[in-house]
């Protein structure tokens, strides 16, 4: 699996996956480790929802996604949440508005 120019180095016994890429500007090798345990982020999102965070007048904190979810959405659905492409943004909003993903959300309005 790859996300953008990140290449998977494989999964460890605990589900942790490592990714690598070479920076095109410096030639430095970068390493990213992704842990599939999303529980801490989900618990934080629930607390923020209950506290009313994300309901600001000017800006809203809509969601907080674990990196493992970002990689999963790219692999499963081809959705790049960091893309500026309008079709990718629309697909990301669709996934974030899905009831099955409600605990990725902080602001509960429709995106």
What are the Cα distances from residue 14, in Å, to 11, 18, 61, 73? 8, 12, 31, 20
**Residue 15 CB partners (closer than 8 Å, separation 6+):** 35, 36, 37
Average pLDDT of span 93-108: 92
Residue ranges of domains in the chain: 1-35, 37-111
Band of residue 98 on the pLDDT scale cut at 50, 70, 90 = very high
Band of residue 84 on the pLDDT scale cut at 50, 70, 90 = very high
Which pLDDT score is estimated for 1?
A: 43
What is the 3 state secondary structure string of the chain?
CEECCEEEEEECCCCCEEEEEECCCCCCEEEEEECCCCHHHHHHHHHHHHCCCCCCCCCCCCECCCHHHHHHHHHHHCCCCCCCCHHHHHHHHHHHHCHHHHHHECCCCCC
Which pLDDT score is estimated for 90?
A: 97
Which pLDDT score is estimated for 40?
A: 84
- Tell me the two tokens of residue 40: 């801490």
pLDDT at residue 8 greater than cutoff 90: no
Q: What is the pLDDT of residues 22-74, one digit of tens each?
A: 888 888 888 888 777 888 888 889 998 888 776 667 778 889 998 888 888 98
**Distance of alpha carbon 50 from alpha carbon 53, whole angstroms:** 8
């Amino acid at each position: 699996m790859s996300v953008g120019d990140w290449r998977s180095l494989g999964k460890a016994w605990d589900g942790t996956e490592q990714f690598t890429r070479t920076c095109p500007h410096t030639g430095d090798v970068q390493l990213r480790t992704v842990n599939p345990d999303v529980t801490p982020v989900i618990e934080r999102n629930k607390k923020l929802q209950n506290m009313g965070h994300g309901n600001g007048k000017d800006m809203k904190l809509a969601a907080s996604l674990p990196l493992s979810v970002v990689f999963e959405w790219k692999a499963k659905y081809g959705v790049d949440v960091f893309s500026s492409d309008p079709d990718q943004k629309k697909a990301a909003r669709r996934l974030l508005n899905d009831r099955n993903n409600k605990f990725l959300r902080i602001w509960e309005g429709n995106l």
